[in-house]
Amino acid sequence: MDILNEILDNTSRQRLALVKLFVNEPEKTFSKLEIKLKMTKATEYSNILIYTPKFLEKPEFVEGQDDLNPFNTPNSENQIPTILTDRLNELVKIGVIETKGIVEGNRRVNGYKLKKTDIKPDELRDLQIPQKYYNHLVSIKKDFEKFELPSSGTLGSIIDYNHDIMDNEQTSDYPSFDSETPYRNDDRIRYLKEGIHYAIIDRNPIIGLKYEGHYKSNSDPEVHQLESFNPHILKVTRGQWYVVGKCPNENHFRYIPLNRILNENLEVNEDETFVRDSFDPLTYWDGCVGITKIGKPITVKFHLKNGEVYNNVDYLRAIPIIEKGQTIKELEIGLFEITLKNIHMGPELVRVIRSLGLVNITNVSPKWLYEDLSESGERKQFVFSIRLPKEIKLTDFEADLRKELRIKDDSDNAAAELTIEQIPNKREWRRITLTSILVNSVLALYIQKIINDYGEINFKTKMGSFLN
């Protein structure tokens, strides 16, 4: 307890005393007044609240020294201090306790009670399991350990507890299944995963997260530094680990690869908790190949030649590119049409289709997708007209266009030219001409974005076939 006392700040100390009260009496529903009386009169909790380190040479708690207790309200036995309400609300917010209406005196008030879980940690650790399930857990634990997540420790505790009561001659030392092992023996990634894992569980923001953006073949990646980042989930896809979360006041999620994080040590604000968005990974990444989710979902089609040695079609039937929305139609012997409905564009999709062999792929739709697959460098002229709202400055629109289409030095569209003209007799309309622009997903998804932002009624082009 001495070490704990030294590292707890005032806010954490108050939460600790409250949680200890609820854990000690898990079935009881307390009113605020009852909690206040416990915190100020019971030595077990007051000792936690008013502890001062010995090196400050202040007296330890003695009975009656109530002025040092932050939950004590002088001169009023029934007055509830605001700080007590604040700490209770924090515990409700993060799901440790729950509220329940109770009657106190002649009025109905909020009561507070430990939130029930299906099984308590101590019960889980001391859980006795049948022999056959023990064998399964031993096998699964070995696979869990390869991912080096803290949760493997809980599994290990269950196994250790049951070890002595099992017939060890029946247990198996070999695994019953195996999975990919990303970043095996990479201590740095393991430490990052562990720190992020606990930040997610405790809903603590990460401060000053610094990471590299997308890699580029002709320049160094841009370095991003986030003042505050709220981690929501760790995700692994195709051997790559990501932390997914949001910055405060941002609506979009960021997907940050762990191997691009530059911080030597993560700084977590343990005194602050964030509200986690309602987040279902299965729903959120529906239609994604991997983790990237760009723009609205589209329909992709291509013809695929089935090789005699490498059977592409059987492979796609066994391991679909997406779980839902993939159909395979035979056109003639050895040639098939692959359709992917409601799929999000992204580099993972391009890599998966490429792996089938570009010589085996024809009739790609939409047409611009073939440039992403082949990177042939095909450039064309694209012209469209747009009516901007009065509150949008033309200079801001142009700056955004150049950024989104990467029309700048050291980018893939550095050679492209942009002209913006006012259309005669249409004062609010501008004609945008993009010359020598790469015909790929960057352009197609940007056009989709401005149509969504400004509305189809404010967008015109005679090059609609390009967008299909």
pLDDT value of position 52: 56
The hierarchical CATH code for the domain 379-467 is: 3.30.70
Report which of residues 154 and 281 the model is more confident about. Answer: 281
Name the DSSP letter for residue 76.
-
Report the 10 Å Cβ neighbour count for 306. 18
Q: What angle do CA 336, 337, 340 make, to 5 degrees?
A: 135
Q: pTM, whole model, 2 decimals?
A: 0.65
> Hey, which of 15-19, 96-100, 213-217, 416-420 has the most confident mean pLDDT?
416-420
Beta sheet of 335-345, edge-to-edge order = 326-332, 335-345, 294-305, 361-365
pLDDT value of position 169: 54
Architecture of domain 294-365: 2-Layer Sandwich (3.30)
Residues forming a β-bridge with 335: 305, 332
Could you tell me the two tokens for 378?
């095909």
The whole-number average pLDDT for the span 303-317 is: 87
Report which of residues 291 and 132 the model is more confident about. Answer: 291
Could you tell me the two tokens for 30?
């307390």
pLDDT tens per residue, range 381-408: 999 999 998 889 999 999 999 988 988 7
Query: Which band of pLDDT confidence, cut at 50, 70 and 90, is reported for residue 72?
Result: confident
Q: Indicate the average pLDDT of the chain.
A: 82
Burial tier of 149 (Cβ tally within 10 Å: 0-12, 13-18, 19+): middle
Asked whether residue 437 carries a pLDDT value surpassing 90, the answer given is yes
Least-confidence region, from 3-17, 293-307, 335-349, 402-416: 3-17
- Cα Rg of the chain (Å, integer): 30
Query: Which band of pLDDT confidence, cut at 50, 70 and 90, is reported for residue 8?
Result: low
Q: Report the topology of domain 2-114.
A: Arc Repressor Mutant, subunit A (1.10.10)
Q: 385 by DSSP, 3-state: which?
A: strand
Q: 179 by DSSP, 3-state: which?
A: coil
pLDDT value of position 337: 97
pLDDT tens per residue, range 226-250: 999 999 999 988 778 999 999 998 8
Domain ranges of the chain: 2-114, 121-170, 187-280, 294-365, 379-467
pLDDT value of position 61: 45
Distance in angstroms (rounded) separating the CA atoms of residues 15 and 5: 13
Asked whether residue 50 carries a pLDDT value surpassing 70, the answer given is yes
Name residues whose C-beta falls within 8 Å of residue 193's C-beta, 6 or more positions apart in sequence: 148, 149, 234, 241, 258
Distance in angstroms (rounded) separating the CA atoms of residues 71 and 184: 49
pLDDT value of position 56: 43
Which residue, among 300, 302, 303, has the nearest Cα to 344 in the 3D structure?
300
Domains 2-114 and 294-365 are alike in CATH topology: no
pLDDT value of position 58: 44
